[in-house]
Structure 1
Amino acid sequence: MDFNSLQYFVLVAKYENMSRAAEVLHITQPALSKSISLLEENLGVTLFDRNGRSIKLNRYGRFFLERAESMLKDYEMAREDLLNLVSPGQGVVSIGFMHTLGLEVIPQLMAAVQKDYPQLKVQLTQSNSSTILHKLEVGELDLCLISSLDTHKDLIWVKLWEEELFLIVPENHNLALKEQVNLKDFAKEPFISIKKGNTLRKSVDDLYKQEGYLLNVAFEGEEVHTIAGLVESGLGVSLIPYIKGLEQYKIRLLKVNAANCKREIGLAYISNHFKSAATKLLEEYIYEYFRK
């Protein structure tokens, strides 16, 4: 059994179509069929059910597919680690982050990474907190920058910094001229909220509950600029961190007199997932970057 035969098998299993797999692999169909047959011969078991020209992965094939994918992944990880041993700072790392970090934090961080490690490739995924967390858990991401959350035994979250949450109101709101407000001053007003599944929503929900209130949600949005636009239109108030670009809206940012009116941002990873040398390098770089 060779490395190519594993790659060929995984692709044929994906398409369950020998012609399509041969086309993607840029080899002839007879050569691919022969490779699969030799693999089955070496394993001593048939991996596909064949009916004329059609093939379908059988239960032995499904069993072997999981192992084959794992072996290929281990090979790629080992190859990447060897590259890093020979040339430190090379490799690929996938990192997820929340929408609110995309305007300043991530661009500045990536500029610093590129300057110090020009050969390191970073794949970025921007989405809401729940989507990022799911991608992290299933292994699609190596690291993610996310608000504090309820961790489980395999999820590690390390705090990097915290952000104050400000009350935003339209410029003509009755609270607009105040420098500081209490939560009770606006707790019953229509609230423009980030959708559930975002850790900012959880932070706000928790704050309201601690003060003995429930959110009076009028509208929900996907990201902070949408929230600011809805507040500007007089549809409600909201609690958000300061981000670049809020100056374009006719709103006022007010400090809230509440100890927990903030959110914490940290780096998260899954403890029992493999970490390549490149991932470890970027992880330590991020810790040091935010310490400074």
Structure 2
Amino acid sequence: MELMPLIYFKLVAKLENMSRAAEQLHITQPALSKSISQLEASLGVPLFDRNGRSIRLNRYGKFFLERTELILREYDRAREDLTNLIAPGQGEVSIGFMHTLGLQVIPALLTDVRNVYPQMKFQLTQSNSGVLLHKLEAGDLDLCLISSVELGHHVHWEKLWDEELFLIVPYEHPLVGEQSVKLEQFAAEPFISIKKGNSLRKSVDELYRQEGFVLNVAFEGEEIHTVAGLVESGLGVSLIPHIKGLEQYRLHVIPVAAENCKREIGIAYMENRFISAVTEQFSTYVKQYFKEN
């Protein structure tokens, strides 16, 4: 049912005068009478007792008026809540981000944002790029911080920064002590990888392919700390971004002398979907933040 007939009914019930109600609603009396008649027909019961031009709310009308006032109050409350939800500076933004960004990047970003927009609220979702893209396309997220690998249809992605990938090896590895290494120096070694479907795995696969090598996967892990633990145990080497907490492992971190040993991180949102004012405001802030940091 549309709300306008309920609004018309509420005023007619209050005034019990069709002419005065039509005048206040700025519509013609015949149009108002038709709306009330259609409402009664849809409900299957008359709401007013009619005697010539005089109308009076009957017992069915009084019952329905109570419910109508509840419906309209809930509508007004929902509209107010939605306004607050999307209001610039104080609304809510639903953000998705990759696991590796949750250790340092996202906490630093949100701390910085709160200094400028203390009333802004956030819903946070942490997962791999594939899951985040699915949630973005489904409308569960307003925007994502993800890599550029295999973007979906109608997804707009804008680069924010390059994330360098480093070789990690156990302390006893022959490459310990090197200031930098080439991919050919470790390409044939057992590799501890993130599972397929993760943007980091896709970036590493592409790097090996471009350099003319095939990834020799020994073990696959769900997240980077698992990878670091397996490398520490001497089960292989890996390429990962330099994340917070890596120093707790007995590892050596070595830069790789390859220009493409990195992945691009950017902000993504749907091109064909409504973007609230607060989401637009946050998106603009994020872009400026990563220009300056």
Q: TM-score, length-normalised on structure 1?
A: 0.72
Which amino acid is the alignment partner of residue 133 of structure 1?
Answer: L
- Check conservation: 1:190, 1:236, Cα contact below 8 A: yes
Q: Distance in 2 between matches of 1:82 and 1:127?
A: 29
Q: Which residue of 1 aligns with 2:176?
A: 176
Q: How far has the Cα of 1:83 moved from its partner?
A: 3.9
Check the 8 A contact 1:91/1:278 in 2, yes or no: yes
SS at match of 2:255: strand
Once the 2 structures are TM-superposed, how far is the Cα of residue 274 of structure 1 from its aligned partner? 1.2
Say whether the 8 Å CA contact 1:160–1:287 is kept in structure 2. Answer: yes
Say whether 1:277 aligns with 2:277.
Answer: yes
Q: Which residue identity is paired with 1:273?
A: R
Query: Residues 204-231 of structure 1: CA distance to partner in whole angstroms, max 9, x if unpaired?
Result: 0000001111111111111111111110
- For 2:160, give the aligned amino acid: L
Does the aligned pair in 1 maintain the 2:170–2:234 contact within 8 Å?
yes
Task: Tell me if structure 2 keeps the 8 A contact 1:97–1:125.
Answer: yes
* Counterpart in the other structure of 1:200: 200
Partners of 1:213 and 1:142 lie apart in 2 by 38
Whole-Å separation in 2 of the counterparts to 1:77 and 1:218 = 54
Matches within 5 A, 1:1-292: 1=1, 42=42, 82-83=83-84, 88-292=88-292
Q: Provide the rounded CA distance (Å) in 2 between the counterparts of 1:236 and 1:107.
A: 31
Asked whether the 8 Å contact 2:100–2:243 carries over to 1, the reply is yes
Shift of 1:79: 5.2
Aligned to 1:11: none
Write the deviation string for residues 156-175 of structure 1: whole angstroms up to 9, x where unpaired. Answer: 11111111110100010011
Query: For residue 28 of structure 2, what is the aligned residue in structure 1?
Result: none
Q: For the structure 1 residues 76 and 189, does the alpha-carbon distance in structure 2 shift closer, same or farther, using more than 3 Å as the test?
A: farther
The 3-state SS of whatever aligns with 2:103 is: coil
Q: Which ranges in structure 1 are unaligned for 5 or more consecutive residues?
A: 4-38, 45-74
Q: Deviations over 1:237-287 (max 9, x none)?
A: 000010111111111111111110011110001101111111111111111
Q: What are the Cα deviations for residues 126-174 of structure 1, in whole angstroms up to 9, with x where unaligned?
A: 1111111110111100000011223344111111111111010001001
Cα distance in 2 for partners of 1:76, 1:156 equals 33
Instruction: Rate the CA distance shift 1:42–1:239 in 2: closer, same or farther, 3 A.
Output: farther
Structure 2 CA distance for aligned equivalents of residues 250 and 154 of structure 1: 44
Distance 1:90 1:138 in 2: 24
- CA-CA distance at 1:181 after TM superposition: 1.1
Amino acid at match of 1:283: S
How many angstroms apart in 1 are the aligned matches of 2:274 and 2:151? 19
Deviations 1:15-35 (A, max 9, x none): xxxxxxxxxxxxxxxxxxxxx
With over 3 angstroms needed to count, the CA separation of the structure-2 counterparts of 1:43 and 1:240, relative to structure 1, is farther
Asked whether the 8 Å contact 2:133–2:151 carries over to 1, the reply is: no
Contact 2:85/2:92, CA 8 A, preserved across alignment: no
CA distance in 1, matches of 2:239, 2:112: 30
Identical amino acids, percent of aligned pairs: 62
What is the aligned length?
226
> Distance between the aligned counterparts of 2:202 and 2:43, measured in 1?
51
* Structure with bigger gyration radius: 2
Contact between 2:160 and 2:266, CA under 8 Å: does it hold in 1? yes
Find the aligned partners of 1:114 and 1:179 in 2 and give their Cα distance.
Answer: 39
Q: In 2 relative to 1, CA 136–118 (structure 1 residues): closer, same or farther, beyond 3 Å?
A: same
Separation in 2 of the partners of 1:43 and 1:205? Answer: 64
TM-score by length of 2: 0.72
The answer to whether the 8 A contact 1:80-1:276 is kept is no
